[in-house]
């Protein structure tokens, strides 16, 4: 680890001002991704600005048909929240699948979406539900926010404050986890929203994406059988020591079928 200074922010404004004045400073939320990155000497920030305890970034609220979750809300809180379980049970279920108890108790939704790991779970829910990322500067639709592997629309110094999820008619998530880390080898979020069916895929490609052929098929027939004739184009998918791209393409279809089967039963 390279040396750095630690700063505990007392307000969102203070954190923003600090970042503006120190361009090599980095935000610290749960530290579940950032601390291992620092340990491996893959980043060299001048300061870590701890926003994990900021009240302005916490809380779960259902208002005007939207579920709003503060950026510093830990995965475990989302998983066990009675508000989330009632309004959007698929999101509570997804949060409960992330990593292990330590990761779920420290890792935050804001840290996860800002990091945009291609195998993270939340990006599938954000894209599948057409959520909005509210930052210190603007509101960014999920479709514009995620920009490929570890890349987002966030500008330097911009802080994720809250995620707003429109409550769907129904939704479901199915994931094939990597046996060691729990990250998604393929995870598929299916939602029936006021604006139609959405299918978002994580883990399989270099970033979260919508599977539009599946959306069109499910619009006509919301059943696992509707996906039978479809194939996922393996060309653009990830290949590594854990799985070939063809295997991942098949996993996407299997996970999509499972999510739709859950949805049909919900
Ligand atoms: C063993 C292990 C298993 C895991 N398994 C899974 C899994 O199955 N599924 C999954 O989805 N994830 C998994 N994760 C990742 C986990 O969900 C992390 O919690 C998450 O990626 C980062 O959240 P964090 O709060 O710890 O962020 P940090 O590590 O503190 O920060 C991550 C990055 O986001 C930035 N950041 C943090 N908060 C904000 C904010 N509010 N605004 C702007 N930028 C911000 C930081 O500067 C940093 O660049 C796993 C992690 C580990 C260590």
Residue-range domain boundaries for the chain: 1-53, 170-265
Q: Above 70 in pLDDT, residue 209?
A: yes
The pLDDT of residue 146 is above 80: yes
pLDDT at residue 179 above 70? yes
Average pLDDT, the chain: 96
Q: How far is the CA of 174 from the centre of ligand 1 (A)?
A: 20
Separation CA 177–CA 184 (nearest Å): 5
Q: Which residues line ligand 1 (CB under 6 A)?
A: 26-34, 51, 71, 98-99, 103, 107-108, 110-112, 114-115, 117, 120-122, 154, 159-160, 181-183
Q: Whose CA is nearest to atom 35 of ligand 1?
A: 111
pLDDT tens for each residue of 91-142: 999 999 999 999 999 999 999 999 999 999 999 999 999 999 999 999 999 9
Determine the pLDDT at residue 238: 93
List helix spans (H) across 107-164. Answer: 109-115, 122-128, 142-145
State which CATH number among 3.40.50.2300, 3.40.1390.10, 3.30.70.380, 3.30.43.10 fits the domain covering 1-53: 3.30.43.10
Residue 184 has pLDDT above 60, yes or no: yes
Taking the centre of ligand 1 as the mean of its atom positions, its distance from the CA of residue 264, in whole angstroms, is: 32
Residue-level pLDDT at 12: 97
Q: What is the pTM of this model?
A: 0.97
Cα 126-216-191 angle, rounded to 5 deg: 30
Residue 228 pLDDT grade (very low, low, confident, very high; cuts 50, 70, 90): very high
Q: How far is the CA of 97 from the centre of ligand 1 (A)?
A: 14
Copy the structure tokens of residue 197: 């069916």
| 3-class secondary-structure state, position 124 | helix
Q: What is the mean pLDDT of residues 52-80?
A: 97
Overall average pLDDT of the 259-266 stretch: 85
Going by their DSSP bridges, the two strands 60-63 and 139-141 should be labelled as: unpaired
Asked whether residue 266 carries a pLDDT value surpassing 90, the answer given is no
Residue whose CA is closest, atom 8 of ligand 1?
183
Residue 226: per-residue pLDDT: 96
pLDDT score of 5: 97
| Ligand 1 center–CA 49 separation, angstroms | 15
Query: What pLDDT is attached to residue 181?
Result: 86
Q: What is the pLDDT of residue 74?
A: 98
Q: Which CATH architecture has domain 170-265?
A: 2-Layer Sandwich (3.30)
């Amino acid at each position: 680890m390279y040396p750095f200074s630690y700063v505990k922010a007392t307000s969102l404004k203070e954190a923003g001002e600090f970042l503006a004045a120190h361009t090599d400073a980095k935000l610290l939320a749960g530290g579940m991704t950032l601390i291992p990155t620092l340990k491996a000497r893959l980043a060299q920030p001048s300061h870590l600005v701890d926003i994990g305890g900021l009240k302005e970034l916490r809380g779960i609220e259902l208002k005007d048909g939207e579920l709003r979750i503060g950026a510093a809300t830990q995965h475990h809180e989302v998983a066990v929240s009675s508000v989330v379980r009632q309004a959007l049970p698929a999101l509570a279920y997804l949060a409960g699948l992330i990593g292990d108890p330590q990761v779920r108790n420290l890792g935050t939704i804001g840290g996860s979406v800002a990091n945009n790991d291609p195998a993270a779970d939340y990006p599938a829910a954000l894209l599948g539900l057409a959520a909005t990322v509210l930052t210190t500067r603007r509101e960014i639709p999920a479709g514009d926010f995620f920009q490929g592997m570890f890349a987002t629309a966030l500008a330097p110094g911009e802080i994720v404050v809250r995620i707003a999820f429109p409550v769907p008619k129904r939704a479901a998530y199915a994931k094939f986890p990597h046996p060691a880390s729990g990250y998604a080898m393929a995870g598929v979020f299916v939602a029936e929203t006021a604006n139609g069916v959405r299918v978002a895929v994580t883990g399989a490609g270099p970033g979260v994406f919508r599977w539009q052929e599946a959306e069109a098929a499910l619009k006509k027939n919301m059943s696992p059988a509707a996906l039978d004739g479809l194939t996922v184009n393996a060309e653009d998918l990830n290949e590594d020591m854990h799985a070939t791209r063809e295997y991942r393409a098949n996993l996407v279809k299997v996970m999509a079928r499972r999510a739709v089967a859950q949805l049909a039963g919900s």
